[in-house]
Structures are given as C-alpha cells and as structure tokens.
Amino acid sequence: MRFSPFRLSIIAVVLALGVGGATAQTQRVVPESKAQVQLSFAPIVRQTAGAVVNVYASRSVRRQNTAMEEYFRRFFGEDTPGVPRGRSQSSLGSGVIVDPAGLVITNNHVIENMNEVKVALADRREFEADIVLRDPRTDIAVLRLKGATNLQAVELGDSEALQVGDIVLAIGNPFGVGQTVTQGIVSALARTQVGISDYQFFIQTDAAINPGNSGGALIDMNGRVVGINTAIYSRSGGSIGIGFAVPSSMVRVVLNSAKGGAQNVVRPWIGARLQPVDGDIATGLGLERPTGVLVTSVYEKGPAAEAGLKRGDVILAVDGQPVDNPDSFGYRFTLKGTQGQAPVTVLRGGKQSTLQVRLMPPPEVPPRDPVRGRTRTPFAGATLVNISPAVADELQIDVADEGVVIADLDERSVAGSIGFEKGDLIVAINGERVPSTKEAERLIDRAGGYWEITVNRGGRVFTTVLGR
C-alpha cells in the first residue's frame, strides 16, 4: 500500500428544521423511522458548495537548449517559431472561500513551486489569485482572489468537537470532473502515523476523496468546515475509503497568521527534545501502558527549562488534552499560540504535577548572517546560516549551541550534486571547527583545491573528501 497525498452525527433533527438552527452541541440521535433515513443533505450542500472552488496552478519551466536549438537562438532570435524554449507544469486541486473578501484555503502541495494560480468558482467565474501564505509544515496555503468581493464564504467549525461516527460531507473537484459531494463518517481522530506533513494530527474519513479533492472542504452537519481534505491511503491512487483532512483548528492558526500579514506561521517553542513512550520505556518508568511523550533533553535557555521540565519527565497532557506522541504534542502546543502560558501535565518519579510553560516563538539568536556558497567550491548553490532555535525549528533539526547549517540548497547545483542536503550541519572544514558563517567564509576562502568537510545529518556524522 502507499499514501497518495496528491501533492494530493448521525442524522439529527436539524436536517428537518434547516441548518441555521444548529449548534455545536446538537444532540446526536439514531434514525427511528424510514422518513428520517430519507432526509436529505441538500440544505447543507446549498449552504456550503458555493464556497468550494477549483484551484488551477501552473508554471513555465525553462529547459537547457540542445546544440541545434542554441544555433537557432543565436542566429534567428530568442522566440524563433518551432523552437520550444520551455515546458509548462500544472496542478489541479480544490479550495474553500473562508472570507467574503476573497481569502481561500487550499493545500500547499496544490500550489507548491507554482507561480500562476487561478481559481474557478462554482458559478464558473474565474479569478487570478495571489499566494498570501504557504505553510508546508501543515500543507496549508492561503490565497487572495484579485478583484473579488462579497463572495459566498463558509465558516470554519470546531474540529475539537468532532466525534468518531459523526457524519461529514467532502466537497471538491475529483479528477477534474467538476464539483462533487460525497458523504461518509469520521472514521478516526488524531491520526499521527500518516507521514504527510510535519504536524500530523489528521481527521480520517471514509467519505470518498480522490485526486483533485486536495484543498477541498470536509463539512460537518452544522454546515461548517471542520477539515481541509489532504490525502488518501490507496493501492491504486483512487479512493478506498481512507482519507485524511487537516483539522480546522490547525487551519485557523495558518489563516490567522495570513490575516495578520505574517510571511510565515510562527509557532510556540518549548525548547526540549521529545520522543514517544514505547512499551519498554513505559515498563522502565512504572507506567501501566505507553502514554505521553518522554523529555530526552532540555535546551538550557528555553521555556521548558524555565518551567522546570527535566530530562526523563513524561508529558501527559497540554491544557488538559492528552498527548501520546511528539506529533500530538506539537499539535496541541501549537494551538496555544505564542503568548501567555500553557499548563503542561508532567509525570516525574511516579507523581503528576502541572507546570506553566511560557509560550514564545523560537528566538533567532544568533542572527542568521547568511553566506551563499561561491562558485568553484563544494558549497556552490548552498546557503549557510548560523543555527539558532528559530532556524532549527524551521528546518526541523536539533538545536545546537553554535554552528552553521545549510538552510537552502539548489539540488541542481554543485553542492546538490555532491550530496549535501538542506538541514546539514557543517561541523568542520579541513579539520577546523565551524562555529559561525563568518568563520565558514574564512575557511572556504583559504581551502584551495582540497576539501575535507565533516557533516552532522540527523545525528549521523560523516566526512566527505574532495580534491587532490
């Protein structure tokens, strides 16, 4: 089996009364008659479908000339008929209008690496769109439609109120056939072993989701968006009834960042390294079952250290919400924002206590001071920066007290062809430690034609030797 992320409760009386009178606390009831079973989802579809759109993204990719094409270019000009200068790449997905002024939520993988985005509404109007904010870590992106006003929008609901068994509708544009509505139930909550994005905490549904549904809406029985459809688990690439959606609570974090004018989503930083509690660890700690997350190290200047967290502590909950692995902790902690404090329930020595952890973004200390790798060196095409908690958080690597890391890399460059990767920590050049980008620049300038470069990649240290 493989994941196909398309880079890709029960009927209540409210249906008979109309959606407008529903609340998040609507009592769930089982149908008691044939008439109740025959009730329709049409009122909810009418209320929401107009806010679900098609997203078309494309970009032109220039390719290297062959010798014959270069001959025509030189002697007959750049735009010689019959001599193709590039090719076009495109993607198709769905989106949801969440603001009448034209803000649209979609998946980041729908518009990733694209420079032209168009959105087609259910009434067949089309708008060009600007990309307001991309967040690869949640696979969510925010678009703004150019020249659009007074559009039909749908409200973000409360994904935290969902229960397994609740009925949901998936609306999108599967396979490009046109807007389609499918119905199913919430099959599971808090799915974390999916491997789609950094913040894995997905709603699972059996409502049919297929390629093209990416970025579309998962609608609850109150007519609100409780998730953004993102991926499926499939043998063939088509739906087999296992689909995943990003919860609306996390979508709201990204949307609020976009509305606030942020260039990226700022998340709270705990300043500690965590790992799951497996059966062996649980036995060693005297736990009845594997639960919580184990603190394996604490950054001495971070919020965890300030709050009194220590190596060997087990975090059981964030603000009363249980956490069972680092992904669920990251989700719960992110929802708390970057101001104030978050109560964290900790198990230490068999006793539980609650610590108040300060909510703050990861600091960018020291400053990045980026250095672009020069030509005729192994670092050509790479950008080196000083490591800091902010950089480590962005690159999803461990925080180091000092050092230089590859923050950006052109895979087609010299550095890419050698095998360097984004997130590599440059430990030493020709036997000399690299504590800063200033020192890295000095060592690169004096290296000459011989290179002995020591790299730390995810805890694995190795040395690459180049030159004579």
3-state secondary structure labels for all residues of 9-47: CCCCCHHHHCHHHCCCCCCCCCCCCHHHHCCCCHHHHHH
Residue 329 to residue 334: CA distance in whole angstroms: 8
Same-domain pairing of 49 and 181: yes
Q: What is the pLDDT of residue 80?
A: 42
With respect to residue 254, please indicate whether it lies within any of the assigned structural domains: yes
Q: What is the pLDDT of residue 420?
A: 94
Count other Cβ atoms within 10 Å, centred on residue 209.
31
Averaged pLDDT for residues 124-140:
92
Report, in angstroms and rounded to the nearest whole number, the Rg of the chain calculated over CA atoms: 25
Residue 292 sits in a domain whose CATH number is 2.30.42.10
Q: What is the pLDDT of residue 333?
A: 94
9, 94, 159, 214: the catalytic one is 214
What are the pLDDT digits (tens) for 316-363? 999 999 998 888 899 999 999 999 999 999 999 889 999 999 999 999
Same-domain pairing of 124 and 200: yes
With respect to residue 215, please indicate whether it lies within any of the assigned structural domains: yes
Averaged pLDDT for residues 127-140:
93
Q: What is the pTM of this model?
A: 0.78
With respect to residue 293, please indicate whether it lies within any of the assigned structural domains: yes
What are the pLDDT digits (tens) for 45-99? 999 999 999 999 887 655 544 444 443 344 434 444 454 555 556 778 999 999 9
Query: Is 139 a residue of the active site?
Result: yes
With respect to residue 229, please indicate whether it lies within any of the assigned structural domains: yes
Q: What is the pLDDT of residue 114?
A: 84
Helix H segments across 194-334?
248-259, 279-285, 303-307, 326-334
Element holding 107 (H helix, E strand):
strand 103-107
Same-domain pairing of 74 and 217: yes
What are the pLDDT digits (tens) for 156-185? 999 999 999 999 999 998 887 888 999 999
Q: What is the pLDDT of residue 21?
A: 45
Residue 170 to residue 229: CA distance in whole angstroms: 8
Contact between 404 and 384 under an 8 Å Cβ cutoff? The reply is yes
Structure tokens at 378: 């192994």
9, 99, 109, 206: the catalytic one is 109
Domain count for the chain, please give it.
3
Same-domain pairing of 86 and 206: yes
Give the largest Cα separation in the chain, rounded: 84
Q: What is the pLDDT of residue 236?
A: 65
Q: What is the pLDDT of residue 411?
A: 85
Q: What is the pLDDT of residue 62?
A: 54
Q: What is the pLDDT of residue 200?
A: 64
Same-domain pairing of 213 and 347: no
Tokens 């036997």 -> residue: 431
With respect to residue 25, please indicate whether it lies within any of the assigned structural domains: no
What are the pLDDT digits (tens) for 402-453? 899 999 999 889 999 999 999 999 999 999 999 999 999 999 988 878 899 9
Same-domain pairing of 97 and 193: yes
Peptide bond into 366 cis (omega under 30): yes
Same-domain pairing of 284 and 257: no
Q: Which of 232, 250, 265 is the last residue of a domain?
A: 265
Same-domain pairing of 92 and 235: yes
Averaged pLDDT for residues 383-407:
89
Strand pairing report for 425-429 and 225-234: unpaired
Same-domain pairing of 206 and 58: yes
Full domain range(s) for residue 108: 1-8+44-265
pLDDT tier for residue 103 given thresholds of 50, 70 and 90 = very high
Please measure the distance between the N-terminal and C-terminal CA atoms of the chain and give it in whole angstroms.
Answer: 47
99, 135, 139, 220: the catalytic one is 139
With respect to residue 400, please indicate whether it lies within any of the assigned structural domains: yes
Q: What is the pLDDT of residue 345?
A: 96
Q: Which residues are annotated as a binding site for substrate?
A: 109, 139, 212-214
Q: What is the pLDDT of residue 73?
A: 43
What are the pLDDT digits (tens) for 266-297? 899 999 999 999 999 988 888 888 999 999 99
Q: What is the pLDDT of residue 133?
A: 95
Query: Is 214 a residue of the active site?
Result: yes
Q: What is the pLDDT of residue 74?
A: 41
With respect to residue 28, please indicate whether it lies within any of the assigned structural domains: no
Same-domain pairing of 258 and 285: no
Least confident of 109-113, 201-205, 353-357, 399-403: 399-403
Q: Which of 358, 393, 426 is the last residue of a domain?
A: 358
Q: What is the pLDDT of residue 155?
A: 95
Same-domain pairing of 204 and 248: yes
Query: Chain-wide mean pLDDT for the chain?
Result: 84
Q: What is the pLDDT of residue 17?
A: 38
Averaged pLDDT for residues 180-206:
77
Q: What is the pLDDT of residue 25?
A: 56
Same-domain pairing of 254 and 291: no
Query: Is 94 a residue of the active site?
Result: no
What are the pLDDT digits (tens) for 1-47? 444 444 443 333 333 434 444 444 567 777 788 777 767 889 999 99
Residue 151 sits in a domain whose CATH number is 2.40.10.120
Total residue length of the chain: 468
With respect to residue 27, please indicate whether it lies within any of the assigned structural domains: no
Q: Which of 265, 285, 305 is the last residue of a domain?
A: 265
What are the pLDDT digits (tens) for 235-269? 666 667 788 999 999 999 999 999 999 888 989 99
